[in-house]
Structure 1
Amino acid sequence: MNNRTTRALRRSGALCAGLAALAACGAGGGSVSSTGRGPITYVAGADNTGTVQAILDRWNKLHPKERVTFVQLPTDADAQRQQMIQNAAIRSDAFTVLSLDVVWTSEFAAHRWVDRLPEDRFPLDEMLTPIVATGMYRGGLYSVPASSDGGMLYYRTDLLEQAGIDRPPVTWAELKADCAKVRKLPAAKGVSCYAGQFQKYEGLTVNFAEAVNSAGGVVTDAEGRPHLDTPQARKGLDFLVRSFKDGTIPKEAATYQEEDARRAFQSGKLVFERQWPYMYPLVNKKDGASRVAGKFAVAPLPGLSGPGASSLGGHNLALSASARNKATALDFIRFFTSQDTQRFSLAYAPAAPTYKALYADPRLVKKYPYLPVLKQSILHAVPRPRVFGYGDVTAAVQREAFAALTGAESSASALRNLQRDLQELAAGK
């Protein structure tokens, strides 16, 4: 076993190391007790929109003896996960309801850090099917979808029209051809073609997985086995690597997280950008902060030979196995994940609802024109690796993908290394 894998496993502190030990880990925590009422906490990343507190205020007004306190964790997803794991490791009751990234469900359930939830208490049949699947582990429900997310292609309608292009690109080849036409325009002087999120963090795992999936490959299969040393994975990573080399993607995009990419598009520096729906109203503000307000639209992500596949994002609510007042917590999860609450939260900030009906609401579509495209993105999205050692897997993906994008390794070498590392993690070596 190489040193990198050894260090990764030590960092994880997993109770069961690797996918081979899933059976030994069991099926997660027990079902929720119907007893125990009183104050609880809601634990999530910092909320910059005020939406979460507004929802908690509604609950607290209705339940003054069962108030919910918002425990805000860092905005960085890795830091959130680590603090939740530390709380679970010491069996603290400080955290009650956890807001989990959708890819954490398997890990938290397998380690018995969260309780199994009663499916009949939630209207799961009213939600989009791929979203519901993110809360399931070994046939049981361990987290309830509160929000989803899907990547979309933002594009400059004004520049495409000036270049005589009447629709957004469907393939990577079309994207590059469209860019070549647009960049000949005087209005496009100094404008780069395309960017996503390519800094070495979770966003790189998302963008890498989308490239592999959009070329017909997979990072891991349904059983968590890696499939990276393949022609499809190579074509996906090669698209990104060659795009950095030929200038389709500007070199500075290797430092981009979501907000960096948003600012680049908003200031008129990009023709195309891969981004989440939260960006739409920010870029469309008419207060002078955006140079492209009213001059852009969204489309599905392009792929190798047709429309691509987004990574499936979002957050689900789970119940800490070591929490108190679980009856209150269960009621709160139902409240927070309800269609009424999601409709309420859309008044505060853009989001990706989990309920089918909200995507068809004419008033919401008028306010958030991205909703029809987002729905298709979610329905065709591919989950990131659903493994309980996700922290180690994403760290390996980030390391090898970044090495390829920056020229430290070839695509072939990076994928071989990644295949080996993920196989060792799956085997618990």
Structure 2
Amino acid sequence: MKHRFPRRSLLGAVLALGLCACGSSGGSSGSSGDSAGSGPITWASFKEPTGTLRKVVDGWNAAHPDAKVTLVDLPEAADAQRQQLVQNAQIKSTAFDVVTLDAVWTAEFAANQWVEPITGLDASGFLTPSLRTGQYRGKLYAAPWLTGAGLLYYRTDLLKKAGIAGPPKTWQELTDDCAKVRKSVDIGCYAGQYDKYEGLTVNVTEAIDSAGGHVLDASGRPALNTPEALAGLRFLTDGLKNGLIPKAALTYQEENGRRAFEAGELLFHRNWGYVYALAGKTDGSSKVAGRFDVAPLPGRIGPGISTLGGNNVAISAFSKHKKTALDFIRYVTGAEAEKTFGLGSAYPMSRLALYSDPAMVKAQPYLPTLATSIQNAVPRPEAVRYGDVTTAIQEAAYAALRGQQSPEQALSGLQAQLGPLTAH
């Protein structure tokens, strides 16, 4: 989950062109000795709370009684999902035929030959940034399915009451807006996800990019010894020191932060697009329904840079039924299935047309804002040893956020640690 993508019209962004050891541990033979054969398959994916994903799978199964798909839920946390998929791949388990990969895992799974190159997939219609997250060394290894970028949720009612016309575009504006609102309201200013897990890598990378820096340079080498990288990390560490960011945010993952925003405890909140529908519920679960909106993230001297998120789908190298796996990937990433899933789940999808589809925009009014964020988004650091890279980032950043190291010490140590991990 590569390269900074140039700013351009979104319409121009289309590319025209569970550790389970069941089954055989060898992955090169199909059910009748044909590794490209057809037959029932298993899809290992994250647990989707609305039930819409199972409806999408049911649609396939109704039309393909001899090649049904069994959906297997992976653990909730991204780190645990990756661990289970890696462990399965390392023992060459045939338990999974199709796997859902966080967009940043492509290089690791492709380089280790744990997933197959995908050929014959019509790439037209996908968002270019989303499509690129599935590529490794010029080949497509994972088909774009879900996408997304970080968004700034903000309280429209409190900004209006304080005489503020719109959301902040810079960190200084965010700080000033909070000070104005706090003159009459006791509320936390801002929070993202700062617990020591994958979300911290996302938030720290986002802050560094939004300050004009980079974790890795264009050649894939660490680039943390710059004033811009330091400014990005300092925005977070200083925020925790001066109260801009509540101390409780050191325990926030996505759901903790979402609940805090919905409870009216935060003026500004960084999170993903899925929060929009939940925070807007009028069943009493959200205290901010009808009183918030979203905007692109602010940055050091102008609009910030979001981290490109998303999930792609890939064919396990050890699948017995790779033909069915490919056919199913074409189905689940197709326009009809993506629209069905998007409408029912509020997850942002990888197909460009859905961002201007009237039914989609009516159901998810934040889509035009999200489209802007996606076209300017930057992936997390791409590395074959991504698990080691993200662990190093989390350890260093968390030490700085907790005041156990200065930002300078944290970045200096991380610069040295990432060198061997990203060596080509």
Q: 5 Å matches for 1:168-317?
A: 168-185=167-184, 188-189=185-186, 191-317=187-313
Match in the other structure for 2:83? 82
The residue matched to 2:124 in structure 1 has which SS? helix
- What is the TM-score normalised by the length of structure 1? 0.90
Offset of residue 125 of structure 1: 2.3
Q: 5 Å matches for 1:250-399?
A: 250-399=246-395
8 Å contact kept, 2:221–2:423: no
Distance 1:327 1:222 in 2: 36
Offset of residue 49 of structure 1: 1.8
Aligned residue type for 1:261: G
CA deviation profile, 1:132-156 (whole Å, cap 9, x unmatched): 1001100101000110011000000
Distance 2:227 2:260 in 1: 33
Offset of residue 48 of structure 1: 1.7
Aligned residue type for 2:135: M
Distance 1:319 1:367 in 2: 32
The residue matched to 2:338 in structure 1 has which SS? helix
- 263-272 or 123-132, which moves further after superposition? 123-132
Offset of residue 424 of structure 1: 2.1
CA deviation profile, 1:284-331 (whole Å, cap 9, x unmatched): 111111111000000000000000011010000010111111111100
Give percent identity, aligned residues only.
54
Aligned match of 2:412 in 411, 416, 419?
A: 416
CA deviation profile, 1:109-128 (whole Å, cap 9, x unmatched): 0001111111xx32322111
CA deviation profile, 1:167-191 (whole Å, cap 9, x unmatched): 1000000000000000112xx22x1
Distance 2:74 2:356 in 1: 33
The residue matched to 1:274 in structure 2 has which SS? strand
Offset of residue 221 of structure 1: 2.5
Distance 2:285 2:318 in 1: 46
- What is the TM-score normalised by the length of structure 2? 0.91
Match in the other structure for 1:114? 115
Offset of residue 365 of structure 1: 1.0
CA deviation profile, 1:330-370 (whole Å, cap 9, x unmatched): 00000011111110012311111111111011221121111
Aligned residue type for 2:274: Y
Unaligned runs of 5+ in 1: 1-28
Unaligned runs of 5+ in 2: 1-27, 29-33
8 Å contact kept, 2:35–2:319: no
CA deviation profile, 1:73-99 (whole Å, cap 9, x unmatched): 111111111111111111111110010
Residue 395 (structure 2) pairs with residue 426 (structure 1): no
Offset of residue 222 of structure 1: 3.5
Match in the other structure for 1:43? 44
Distance 1:421 1:35 in 2: 42
- 70-79 or 93-102, which moves further after superposition? 70-79
Residue 97 (structure 2) pairs with residue 96 (structure 1): yes
Offset of residue 53 of structure 1: 1.0
Distance 2:73 2:352 in 1: 29
8 Å contact kept, 2:343–2:360: no
Distance 1:387 1:426 in 2: 6
Match in the other structure for 1:407? 403
The residue matched to 1:241 in structure 2 has which SS? helix
Offset of residue 34 of structure 1: 8.3
| Number of equivalenced pairs | 392
Distance 2:59 2:66 in 1: 13
8 Å contact kept, 2:35–2:320: no
Match in the other structure for 2:69? 68
RMSD: 1.3
